[in-house]
Structure 1
């Protein structure tokens, strides 16, 4: 992949880390408010739920691109390079299919949430649902595109080296 793509994916990854820091601060504020002032922050549960989903999928495309997902390669490393490359391509094809399935399954609920004004939370603290729903769809499309890029690399035979020698280009 090209460097601008890698920078964009790294930007998403860093943005996910920033969301994590914000969530940490919100949770600390809630705990301190609960213990010291007997006034917890009303939106902690909602923000934590939304934020964890968001940061997970903000960081996923970069982690996939850097090939840092948990992998057990004792079987894969014993295969010839050409077979290893094709098997890697197949697994990334499965990954792309998973993310595309997530997009397809989430499209209708996202539109329904947009039209109905769906929100997370209660009267004390409300978060509109549509930004998370459509944001997740965009991030799943990005992750699927990263996987498709690796499918192309694997089909060309460029993913046949042992795991530790395979670095993104």
Structure 2
């Protein structure tokens, strides 16, 4: 059965999750492209005109976290997460039920860890939103920090759902 036929047989919720995950991945890639252009303009301005673009280091700092959380759910879905699976692969081949149970345990632990990150980021996000927290220097360049906190919550939630979907797909 082809991948597209296999995907069409999945529940609508999983297809929507995969679409949202792909959208987040595209947003992360777009952000990388925009940062590359911005850094290029900054370097050119600095070297050719002696006038750098204000706020580039701050935007790069904020964007790194955003890019990770935008793209990590797609990395998990596409099986591109860095992991050492030699033992787990051997165990799954030798004892499929035990291997699947251990992989599921790892996924559940990952869900718990990411949940803690999302849960503890929520009050940080709301505080940054309410207080108008920013990065940068007044009079030169400022950028709000709440969008990155929101991206962390959205990306983390998508990652949790992708881990849960992986467990579901394992046993379907």
Task: Specify if TM > 0.5.
Answer: yes
**Following TM superposition, by how much is the alpha carbon of 1:9 offset from its aligned partner in structure 2, in angstroms?**
1.3
RMSD of aligned alpha carbons: 1.5
Q: Distance in 2 between matches of 1:15 and 1:109?
A: 23
Once residues 58 and 37 of structure 1 are traced to their aligned partners in structure 2, the CA distance between those partners, rounded to angstroms, is 35
TM-score of the aligned structures, taking structure 1 as reference length = 0.86
Distance 2:116 2:66 in 1: 18
Q: Deviations over 1:120-145 (max 9, x none)?
A: 11121111111211221121111111
Match of 1:167 in 2: none
> Take 2:155 and 2:18, find their aligned partners in 1: how far apart are those partners?
15
Counterpart secondary structure, 1:75: helix
Count of aligned positions? 156
Question: Structure 1 residue 83 and structure 2 residue 94: aligned?
Answer: no
Distance, in Å, in 2 between the alignment partners of 1:74 and 1:139 is: 28
Runs of 5+ unmatched residues, structure 2: 1-9
What aligned pairs does 1:1-169 form with structure 2 within 5 A after superposition? 2-79=14-91, 80-123=95-138, 124-154=140-170, 156=171
Considering Cα pairs closer than 8 Å and 6+ residues apart, tell me whether 1 or 2 has the greater RCO: 1
Q: Deviation of residue 40 (structure 1)?
A: 0.4
TM-score by length of 2: 0.84
Larger displacement relative to structure 2 (104-113 or 25-34)? 104-113
